[in-house]
Structure 1
Amino acid sequence: MSDAATSPGQNRTPRLPAPPPAGRPRDAFFDNAKYLAIVLVAMGHSWEPLKGDSRVLEAMYTVVYAFHMPAFIIISGYFSRNFDMRPDRVKKLVTGVVVPYVLFETAYSLFQRHVGGAADQDISLLDPWYLTWFLCALFAWRLTTPIWRTVRHPLPLAFVVAMLASVSPSIGDDLDLQRVLQFLPYFVLGLCLRPEHFRLVRRWPVRIAAVPVFAAALVFAWWSVPRMNTGWFYHRDSAQELGAPWWCGPVMVLALFGCSLLLTACFLSWVPGRRMWCTALGAGTLYGYLLHGFVVKYAVDKGWFDAGWLHGPLGEILVTAVAGAGVTLLCTGPVRRVFRFAMEPRMDWAFRRDVVEAARERGRQGRRSEQSRGAREPVNA
């Protein structure tokens, strides 16, 4: 019954404001982008055992490797913009990055020792194996976010760091620092981006232009496969280690950044902005990223890619489809519930209670209690 129809002598209960949402709603565009990027990562890893026999597949592999990790890193930087040393954010960094790194680095080493036949495989937290380098890098990048948010020209400074790393073979393999430093400009770029920049690349002229850009990239990749060392795309070696003069390092850092940024913009222009069947899977991309490595390595170790018919066009299409479907499955809710203990552990027992946050929580509980009492007390009309 409406207030206008309530009799003057009847008690009325005041209307309370609706409670605020528990958190900001997830952006469907970014979830779709992360899902599509992780599918490309899995496809690229499935092509690796097959690409030696196919120049076309090698060209596709090169194009995908030119932008799939840069896209992931740019988005990671974008969502790290507000990171500071606040206790709750440090806790999330530890539980969401450090703990999964320790667990999966150990699990991959044991897997390789007992399943892959590498009896001499040691557990070393200083030498990331296969996919875990990204967690090392994400930890370092996010931990230095306050620095990049403070300096006047963060992107040029990140380029200087990346170019110096590209000519420093003495850096070595510890914590995959070459990758950490050479991929740094992509993360810093993500920190500098704003929502309007992503809206800019999603305009129809950009979407249309992306078609010839990708076509040209595939043609160029096909031409360059026998002429270029694809190790440049991995960003894990210095110029000298790739057999090039030292000055090629800074040049390639800038050239690959321009190439990767162009292809990333074209890729993002095709990402749907509406909610789709795959949107919810975007929240589980880290699960798909870390878990699909076990499947790929197991298949390689067991010789599943050695079948001759897989090295033809139909076999390559089948492998691509299976890789996409497999990583999709690994991003689903049931898989996330099973492995949440390793990917998103709560670990409240390991952290001190933040005094400021505790005071805020008591204040919120007090306000909710007052609102509850106000809802029960009658108000005379």
Structure 2
Amino acid sequence: MGENSLEARGETFFLNLRFMLIVTVFVGNAIEPLLGSMSGLHNLYLWIFSFHMPLFVLVTGYFARKSLSGSAGRKVLLQIGLQYLIFQSLYSALDISLFRVNNIHHSFFAPYLLLWFLASHACWRLLMLGMGRWSKTAQIIFAITAGVAVGYLQLDGVWFSISRTFVYLPYFVIGYHFSFGAFAKLYQQHARIAAAAVSVLLFLLLGTLGSDLPLGWLYGSMTYMQLGAQEWYAGLYRLAMYGLQFAASLAFLGWVPYRVSRMTDWGRRTLYVFLLHGFIVRLAAVSGLYTYINSPAGAGVLLLGAVLVTVLLAGPGVKRLLHPVVEPSVAWMITLQRAALRRTL
């Protein structure tokens, strides 16, 4: 199989995975208000959070390899920064005026809920550039060490998204160096079936044994102090969580198809789902919708609705309409940069 063919297969696989993950992101956020009243949804939530953020970061690292440095890398960083400013402002303004949500840090230094991913994405890229001359092994060792060490900081992990940046750094590094060829050789039909079976088993185990697991460990946004783990060996808990998330992630990969389909096309526009779905979840909460969901049938309708809206937001029509906001042009920023550089020379 040619290198170009293998690269195309890898891109198809990761686009399919990206769409499947954004579905779990939407579903996870949609069912969160019901976790205390429906144990089945709580089990689903635990299962989703055991793999979806690590895999999303891994996929992001995989696609970052084509645009990490040079002019392409600078353009991506500028666009991430502009996206962050736009959506941090929009979500905060709506929180204050319409949603009236309490206990949210309204500050550009504290990413608004889902926007932590933008802040951390920019940091992961900068960290990878800084580690550029290191070996792969050294990069992974540093990333895991930093992910464990950041938990010992005596601060609120939400500021600057510092906790999640380092907690999920290992997955970005792994994704950046991911060999799809080696993976495809390993994940043949029987291996994929076995992996999918393990994924189901993990769902059942988390449902029966994970009820006492503090969700903060799965979020990655809290330091050990915030999680109530004051022991000097609290870092071992983080290592154990890495083990769980790595196993859950490998198992979930067994579900991902290799073939091109509509899912592949939707996977190209997951950014739109990611940045926009928070508005829909917030609107559903303030509308009182959740007061009517008190049965398995109602929960099923909610899950189906989350999937359908994900497909809608990933459609080409949404991109045509909202492209200037979701993927704002940074050409003017690059022009200003060049003009400023000329003045200094």
**Contact kept? 1:34, 1:285, Cα under 8 Å:** yes
The reply on whether 1:87 has 2:71 as its aligned counterpart is yes
Residue from 141, 151, 160 that aligns with 2:124 = 141
Deviation of 1:83 after TM superposition, in Å, equals 4.1
TM-superposition CA deviations, 1:279-322 (whole Å, max 9, x none): 11111101101101000011112221111xx2211111110000
Q: Which residue of 2 aligns with 1:51?
A: 35
Deviates more, 1:335-344 or 1:322-331: 335-344
CA contact (8 A) 1:29 1:272 kept: yes
Report the alpha carbon displacement of residue 348 of structure 1 after superposing the two structures with TM: 1.9
Task: Map Cα deviations across residues 104-150 of structure 1 (whole Å, 9 max, x no partner).
Answer: 00000011111112599775211111111000000100122222332
214 and 327 in structure 1: CA distance in 2 versus 1, 3 angstrom threshold: same
Match of 2:126, as an amino acid? Answer: L
Q: Which of the numbers 16, 32, 35 marks the counterpart of 2:16? A: 32
Matched, 1:129 2:112: yes
Show the counterpart of 1:296: 281
List runs of 5+ in structure 2 lacking aligned partners: 1-7, 339-345
Q: Following the alignment from structure 2 to structure 1, what is the Cα–Cα distance between the partners of residues 186 and 306?
A: 28
Tell me the amino acid that sits aligned with residue 261 of structure 2: M
Cα RMSD (Å): 2.3
Counting helix residues as a fraction of each chain, which structure ranks higher?
A: 2
Q: Where does residue 257 of structure 1 map in the other structure?
A: 242
Q: CA deviation at 1:278?
A: 1.9
Match of 2:48 among 40, 43, 64: 64
Partner of 1:377: none
The 3-state SS of whatever aligns with 2:234 is helix
Offset at residue 59 of structure 1 (A): 1.2
Matched-pair contact (CA < 8 Å) for 2:156–2:226: no
User: 1:49 and 1:150 mapped to 2: Cα distance?
Assistant: 45
> Which of 302, 309, 328 is 2:311 aligned to?
328
Corresponding residue of 2:164: 179
Q: Deviations over 1:244-303 (max 9, x none)?
A: 233453222222222212222222222111111221111110110110100001111222
Residues 158 and 222 of structure 2 are in contact (CA less than 8 Å); yes or no, is this contact kept in structure 1? no
Q: Which moved more, 1:117-126 or 1:170-179?
A: 117-126
Structure 1 residues 198 and 231: alpha-carbon distance in aligned structure 2, compared to 1, 3 A threshold? same
2-structure distance, mates of 1:106, 1:268: 35
2:258 matched to 1:238? Answer: no
- Does the aligned pair in 1 maintain the 2:157–2:221 contact within 8 Å? no
Structure 1 position 108 matched with structure 2 position 85: no
Q: Quick check: 2:10–2:180 contact (8 Å CA) kept in 1?
A: no
Segments of structure 1 that go 5 or more residues without pairing to the other structure are 1-23, 356-381
One-letter amino acid of the counterpart of residue 247, structure 2: L
**Letter aligned with residue 67 of structure 1:** F
Aligned residue pair count: 329
Counterpart residue type for residue 102 of structure 1: L
Matched, 1:346 2:329: yes
Kept in 2: contact 1:201–1:268 (CA 8 A): no
Instruction: State TM-score, norm by structure 1.
Output: 0.81
Give the letter aligned to residue 92 of structure 2. Answer: S
Is 1:193 aligned with 2:163? Answer: no
Deviations 1:214-247 (A, max 9, x none): 2321222122343221211000111221112334
TM-score, length-scaled by structure 2: 0.89
In structure 2, what residue type is equivalent to 1:104? F
Structure number with bigger Rg? 1
The reply on whether 1:220 has 2:197 as its aligned counterpart is no
The question of whether the paired residues in 1 share the 8 Å contact of 2:157 and 2:223 is answered with no
**Partner SS state of residue 50, structure 2:** helix
- Per the alignment, in what secondary structure is the counterpart of residue 59 of structure 2? helix
- Preserved contact between residue 35 and residue 285 of structure 1 (Cα < 8 Å): yes
